[in-house]
């Protein structure tokens, strides 16, 4: 294994994108191997690299890690993005968990039919503005600090910014009723490592397109239709 972490996934967002975000936020350079054929995927399976027979998979520090949450937790802890004590870590876990729930509604969006996409778009915006964004708006307002936990930049901030930008892709003015989150978005986006990741030419992936969907379906042999929530 090389010195840089190596990411095994498709050339698109999916479950790997949050890992890319967190590594970038930590200022860690990484390499990627994109899965484009079923044969590549089966080679990983046969080699025993995929513990639960699924990607994402990350080679890092002499380990082959799977399970997205485990990978993210490791990166956050290694690069001091996981709070200073157990209480802060618990808060970070809670906020990341809530953000994960919201992002889960978006994850399968590219695989929906055109009709279901419109339903799901409305569903995502409704959930974001009624259940998730109000929580973070209140947290930021109540403690009056720049970051979600302990007034230090953490995994929770990275994850929330990623989610905000994803929801804005569905409705550009979704933060219109959330002044704290508007300020938070601007503030976190100015963090040097995040600013670099948001610039053109970075390893951040664009909105999934038809090519990405077809590649995932072919490699994973997804022959079924995904349904909206």
pLDDT tens across the length of the chain (229 residues)? 458 999 999 999 999 999 999 999 999 999 999 999 999 999 999 999 999 989 999 999 999 999 999 999 999 999 999 999 999 999 999 999 999 999 999 999 999 999 999 999 999 999 999 999 999 999 999 999 999 999 999 999 999 999 999 999 999 999 999 999 999 999 999 999 999 999 999 999 999 999 999 999 999 998 666 677 7
Output the pLDDT for position 228: 72
* Distance, CA of 36 to chain centre: 21
Q: Domain 86-190 is in which class?
A: mainly alpha
Q: Domain 6-79+198-220 is in which class?
A: alpha beta
How many Å apart are CA 137 and CA 12, to the nearest integer?
A: 30
| pTM of the predicted protein model | 0.95
Query: Length of the chain, please?
Result: 229
In the chain, ranges of CATH 3.40.30.10 domains = 6-79+198-220
pLDDT, one tens digit per residue, over 134-170 is 999 999 999 999 999 999 999 999 999 999 999 999 9
In the chain, ranges of CATH 1.20.1050.10 domains = 86-190
């Amino acid at each position: 294994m090389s010195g840089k972490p190596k990411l095994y996934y498709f050339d698109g967002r999916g479950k790997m994108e949050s890992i890319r975000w967190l590594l970038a936020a930590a200022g860690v350079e990484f390499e990627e191997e994109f899965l484009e054929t079923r044969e590549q995927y089966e080679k990983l399976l046969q080699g025993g690299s995929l513990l639960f027979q699924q990607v994402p998979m990350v080679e890092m520090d002499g380990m082959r890690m799977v399970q997205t949450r485990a990978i993210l937790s490791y990166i956050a802890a290694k690069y001091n993005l996981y709070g200073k004590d157990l209480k802060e870590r618990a808060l970070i876990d809670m906020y990341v968990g809530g953000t994960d729930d919201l992002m889960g509604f978006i994850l399968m969006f590219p695989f929906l039919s055109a009709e279901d996409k419109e339903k799901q778009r409305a569903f995502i915006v409704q959930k974001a503005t009624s259940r998730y964004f109000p929580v973070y708006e209140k947290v930021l307002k109540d403690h009056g600090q720049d970051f979600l936990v302990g007034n230090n930049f953490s995994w929770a901030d990275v994850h929330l910014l990623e989610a905000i930008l994803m929801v804005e892709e569905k409705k550009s003015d979704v933060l219109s009723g959330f002044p704290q989150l508007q300020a938070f978005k601007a503030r976190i986006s100015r963090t040097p490592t995040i600013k670099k990741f948001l610039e053109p030419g970075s390893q951040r992936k664009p909105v999934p397109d038809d090519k990405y969907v077809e590649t995932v379906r072919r490699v994973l042999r997804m022959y079924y239709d995904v349904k909206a929530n």
